[in-house]
Amino acid sequence: MDIEREVVPTDRECLALLKGRDAPQKLIAHCRMVAEVALMLAVRLKAAGLPLDLPLVKAGGVLHDIAKGLHPDHSAAGAELLEQMGCRRVARIVASHTDIEPKRSQPPDESDVVYLADKLVKCDRLVSLEERFEGAFKKFAGNPEVLSSVQRRLRDAKTISDQLAHILGCRPETLVLQNETSIRAAIRQESLETRAE
């Protein structure tokens, strides 16, 4: 039996990968915020009994947009890049961060957490699901096919949010907004540590 080593990049490696792809600072800020939101939710979900891999959640959050602006289907392109690097589980998260099929008969996993976290962050701001999708609804109002995709993504995000709320005992959106200060502090601390090296 051939067992391959699964690679989950560290925080530093994730940031180096983004910077190595010439990711703009705004994109890096978005990815870091998504990663911290996802990690904060995952820590609480794990404490509630959900078996989540925290380093995997963090890496998936940081790298979810690794190919954004470089390819029209940035989810598939980013996943392919990470697959080639031996990061299969991170690649699965990246592949599903724009479109996901919520798991109705299984507990939510790392992909669900990162998907929802991405939908609660616009640029580097924390937002409600409605606010996150508001611009897309306006932009694609005259394009029924794209509008249908936007509606499905919002519906999927709400389904995942409901699943996580059932486990957490409160709405993930509320939890994220209540913890904005600590989320931003974690990002600042990480930035300081990265600069110190």
Q: Could you write out the three-class secondary structure of 104-125?
A: CCCCCCHHHHHHHHHHCEECCE
Burial status of residue 23 (CB atoms within 10 A of its CB: 0-12, 13-18, 19 or more): buried
- Please answer whether residues 160 and 115 qualify as being in contact, where contact means their C-beta atoms are separated by less than 8 angstroms: yes
Q: How far apart are the first and last CA of the chain?
A: 40
> pTM value?
0.93
Helix residue spans in 25-108 (DSSP H): 25-47, 54-63, 74-84, 88-95
Residue pLDDT tens, the chain, 197 long: 334 457 899 999 999 999 999 999 999 999 999 999 999 999 999 999 999 999 999 999 999 999 998 888 999 999 999 999 999 999 999 999 999 988 888 999 999 999 999 999 999 999 999 999 999 999 999 999 999 999 999 999 999 999 999 999 999 999 999 999 999 999 888 877 766 66
Instruction: Please give the CATH number for the structural domain made up of 11-192.
Output: 1.10.3210
Question: Domain boundaries in the chain?
Answer: 11-192
Residue type, 110: E
CA distance 35 to 114: 7
